[in-house]
Structure 1
Amino acid sequence: MHKVEELIIWKKAIELAKSVYLLANELPNEEKFGLISQIKRCSVSIPSNIAEGAGRNSRKEFKHFLSIANGSTYELHTQLILLVELNLITEEKVQQVIEVCIEIQKMNYAFQKKL
């Protein structure tokens, strides 16, 4: 249906996932199987669901997967805030990643309306 590599939202989501993986390297090892694992899964889920939706046969299916991706951005956003609240990382280190989450959320809503 869509060439996923040409979708700006997918490219932005790939960059977000890479940023989350780099950020995860700065977190304490005791969180390896807790929040680190969770933020990595969320961040990978976003571009993955966009890609899966792009490969579907209808706009309705695509919108469904965009909706799932959007849920993952909100989940990731929440977990990043939690990292700061638990004093596992500084707000300065996560702020840019949170801003990208918000940007992807806005892009996602606009893209769903366009479809």
Structure 2
Amino acid sequence: MRDFRKYAVWEQSHRLVLELYQITARFPNEEKFGLVSQIRRAIVSVPTNICEGCGKASEKDFARFLGISFGSCQEIEYLMLLAKDLEYLNERSYDPIQIEIVSIKKQLYHLIKKLNAEV
């Protein structure tokens, strides 16, 4: 069994969850059950699936859960673009988030690639 806390990608994604919770708390109230809920579910899925994958016995299963995390990153990438275009998020806040998401996606991609090579 793997310790999810030892993965830099888990740590970075956890920090991004905390950040996006703070940011979305400032979104309009009418988005509470819409965009805010969707963003929060998507971003929480990233470190959660890394954790769940760490509990799997095989490299193949771990890689599958990392793939789910990657998909959630794709979703959050769009949702944050939408939030920016709806003017719930300014460019100064949006750019660092995008950089973080791309960094997380790259780490997940390389870890998945490594795990699949070991199978």
**TM-score computed with the length of structure 2 as normaliser:** 0.93
Q: Per-residue displacement from partner, 1:81-106 (whole Å, max 9, x unpaired)? A: 00111122212112211111110000
Aligned to 1:45: 45
- Find the residue that maps to 2:56 and give its secondary structure: coil
Aligned to 2:110: 110
- Give 1:16 deviation, angstroms: 0.9
Aligned to 1:35: 35
- Give 1:71 deviation, angstroms: 0.2
Which one-letter code corresponds to 2:4 in the other structure?
V
- Give 1:13 deviation, angstroms: 0.8
Alignment of 1:63-74 (within 5 A): 63-74=63-74
Measure the CA separation in 2 of the matches of 1:8 and 1:55: 17
- Find the residue that maps to 1:89 and give its secondary structure: coil
Alignment of 1:23-102 (within 5 A): 23-102=23-102
Misfit runs of 4+, over 2 Å: none
- Give 1:112 deviation, angstroms: 0.9
Which one-letter code corresponds to 2:104 in the other structure?
I
Measure the CA separation in 2 of the matches of 1:4 and 1:75: 22
Q: Percent identity?
A: 37
**TM-score computed with the length of structure 1 as normaliser:** 0.96
**Unpaired runs of 5+ in structure 1?**
none
Measure the CA separation in 2 of the matches of 1:33 and 1:61: 32
Over the residues paired in the alignment, what is the CA RMSD in angstroms? 0.9
**Unpaired runs of 5+ in structure 2?**
none
